Amino acid sequence: MNAVELTDLADRLADELTMATDGAPPGTLAALFERPRPAGDDRELLAVIAAALRLRTIADHVLACACTAMERAELPARKRVCSAARILMGLGAAPAVAHRAARLGRAAADPRLTPVTRGMRDGAVSAERADAVAAGLGHVIGRVEIDDDVAATVVASLMVQSCPARVKDKARAWAIRLTPIESDDGRPPVAERDELNEMTLDRTDDGRFSVTVDLDVLAGEELSVALDPLTRPVPEPDGSTDRRSAKRRRADAFMQMVRSYLARGERPESGGVLPHVCLVVPMGITVNGRLTDGAEPNSGRRRREGVDSAAEVFRIPLADIDGPRDRVAGDGTAGVPVLGFGGPISARTAEMVMCEASVAAAMVDADGVPLSVGREKRLFPPGIRKALVIRDGGCAFPGCGLPPSWCDAHHCTPWSHGGETCLDNGVLLCRRHHGLVHHGGWEVFIGHDRHPWFVPSADPDRPGRRCEPICANNRRTLTILPGAA
C-alpha cells in the first residue's frame, strides 16, 4: 500500500461519514450513526467501534514508523526543522501526538519492546498504552541494570495493565522490587531520595502561574495527607453536588495551605519582614474622598491631631482604559494595580486583596517611583474577627460552612470604597466563595437582623426573574415556613 492507496482509504471513510441533505444512504456508517435502532444495531455499533479503535492504533503505528523513516532519511534537516515531530506538527498534528509518535518510533528499534511494537502493528495495543509501557521500561532500566529475560517479564506485566496510569504504578513497583535496598554507595532507592526533589514556578503567557513538583515518596505522601481533608466536595447553595473538578478542588486545597501558612506569625522573614501580599497602587487614587497625586499634604497634621492613618480609604482605580489617556504610561500599566510577584491585576481582584487580614499599600507615580508607603494595616482586628466567628461560625456562604481559620473577613461595602471595618459590614467567606462574591456576580449584605444575606448572580436564561436573598449557612433550616431563618 502506498500513499495514494492510503489517501483513497481516507476518502472512502470520509464518504461513508458524509451526511447528505436528504439523509445518509442506507448501508453507510453515516446512516448507522444517524438512525441507530435500539437493540437491533447494538452488535453492529460495537463492531464498528472495535474496528475503528484498531484502525486508529494501526494509524498511530504508521506515524511512528514514518517518524523513524524521516529521521533515517534526514528529512528534518532538509526541511530546516529539528525533529520529525516538528514536521508532524507542521502538518497539523497536536504537539502531544507528534512527540508520542516520535517516541514510539524510537521505541520500535529496541528489541526488548518488540511485543509492544507487534501489538501496535496488529491493532491490539493502543499508542497511549505502548508509550506508557516504553516509559515504564525506561523507568526501570534507568534505576537498575536488568538482563533481557527480566526485561521481557517486566514488559509482559506492564502490557496487561488496564490503563497507562496503572502501567506507571506497576513500573514503579518493579523498579522498587528490583533495586537493592541499599546501593553500593549506601543510597536508598530513587523513589525515596529527597535530593532529587524539584519544583518549578513559571509565569504563563496569560499571567497565570504554572507549578510542577517532583517529590520523593515520603514528601509526596505528606503532601497527599495534608491535601486530603481540604479536597472534600462542598455542596452548592441549592444542595446539588460540588461542580468543581477534582483538579480544581486540589488546587483550592493547596492554596488554602499556603494562606494558612502566611497567616501564622512563626515563619521565616523575607528581606527583614514577614512575607505578605504587597499591592502597589498607581497615582491618582482617592484618599478619604479626595483625589491625590502624591503624599497627602496634611498627613503630618492629621497625625498630630491623633487621626489614625489606618483609617485612610484607598479607592482602587479601574483599568487605565477607563481613565484619562494622559495617565497611561508607555507600557500601558500606569493606572493598574500591581502585585509584587504576580504583576498587573484587575480592580476587582485588587478589592479582594484588600479584604485580606493584612495589606501593605504603596502609592507610586506614573514612572513607578514610590510617593508614599503605608504601614501594614490590620483590616479586621482580632476583636471584630472573633465576633464574626461567633456570629457566622465559619464560611457564611450558603451550603459551605468551612472552619473560620480557612476564611477571609470580607467587607460587604468594600474597604476601598469607604466601607467600615466593623461587625455590621463584615462576613466570613472561604477563598472560593470570596472569589464568587468579587468575580461571580453574587452579592452579600447585612440584613436588619444583623446577619449576612446572599443574593445569587443573575440567571442569563431568565434575566427578569427576581433573586430571593438566601440566609447565611449557619442559619439555614430544613423548613420553608415564613418565620424560619
Angle (nearest 5°) at CA 288 between 287 and 290: 65
pLDDT of residue 80: 85
- Per the prediction, the chain carries an average pLDDT of 76
User: Amino acid letter at 334?
Assistant: A
- Helix (H) or strand (E) segment spanning residue 364: strand 358-364
pLDDT of residue 308: 39
Closest CA to 253 of 216, 226, 280: 226
Q: What would the pLDDT profile of 206-258 be if each residue is shown by its tens digit?
A: 778 888 888 888 888 989 888 888 888 877 766 778 888 888 889 988 988 88
Residue for grid cell 517516541: 103
- Helix (H) or strand (E) segment spanning residue 344: strand 343-344
pLDDT band at 315 (very low <50, low <70, confident <90, very high): very low
Residue 20 confidence (pLDDT) above 90: no
Higher pLDDT, 203 or 249: 249
pLDDT of residue 256: 83
User: What residues pair up with 446 in beta bridges, in sequence order?
Assistant: 452
- The phi, psi pair for 63, rounded to 5°, reads -65, -40
pLDDT of residue 32: 81
Query: Which residues, 6+ apart, have CB-to-CB distance to 267 below 8 Å?
Result: 261, 274, 275
pLDDT of residue 216: 84
pLDDT band at 54 (very low <50, low <70, confident <90, very high): very high
Distance in angstroms (rounded) separating the CA atoms of residues 249 and 263: 21
pLDDT band at 63 (very low <50, low <70, confident <90, very high): very high
pLDDT of residue 312: 38
Q: What would the pLDDT profile of 354-383 be if each residue is shown by its tens digit?
A: 665 455 555 555 555 554 444 444 467 778
Residue 43 confidence (pLDDT) above 60: yes
Distance in angstroms (rounded) separating the CA atoms of residues 91 and 101: 13
Cβ atoms of 62 and 2 within 8 Å: the answer is no
Distance in angstroms (rounded) separating the CA atoms of residues 451 and 471: 8
Closest CA to 409 of 423, 347, 399: 423
Distance in angstroms (rounded) separating the CA atoms of residues 395 and 428: 5
pLDDT of residue 351: 67
Residue 62 Cα distances to 56, 97, 166, 189, angstroms: 10, 13, 26, 38
